[in-house]
Homo-oligomer: A and B are copies of this chain.
């Protein structure tokens, strides 16, 4: 079963219609190697209107099919990901985003609750660094 089919089934299962526009947006999302900006989609989906593209992105986000990634410069990128709670490492070299399975800060959160009296309900974590490939290409420390 293709990813597109997978997602459309998910949509239908939740009572949403699978329209040509939505199909186009989803196809564009997948074509983008699973990573994209809203603007890229708008450009790519000339057939679908801007509002529809954004609506579909939101829909997919609610469905848990894509998630937002916050880049270091504050801009936003989207990522196809079927997981639930997880985090990302964004490569500052090539821009690739990788999911992290583990939620790495569970213990830290417990400590914090103890110290501050806060009951931590949620958190947001993004990591930035250089992937193995980029490190191989331009070793750390080497720069102009």
A residues sitting closer than 8 Å to B (CB atoms) are 70, 72, 89, 91-92, 98, 100, 104-105, 108-109, 111-113, 116-132, 135, 140
**Alpha-carbon gap, A118 to B131, bound state (A):** 4
B residues less than 8 Å from A118 (CB atoms): 89, 91, 98, 127, 129-132
Rounded to whole Å, the gap between the CB of A52 and the closest CB of chain B is 21
Residue of B nearest to A103 (CB): B108
**Max chain B C-beta neighbours (<10 A), residue from A121, A126, A129:** A129
Are A70 and B100 in touch, CB under 8 angstroms? no
**Alpha-carbon gap, A130 to B122, bound state (A):** 10
**Alpha-carbon gap, A74 to B88, bound state (A):** 17
Residue of B nearest to A108 (CB): B104
B residues less than 8 Å from A123 (CB atoms): 125-128
B residues less than 8 Å from A130 (CB atoms): 118-119, 121
**Alpha-carbon gap, A40 to B120, bound state (A):** 27
B residues less than 8 Å from A91 (CB atoms): 118
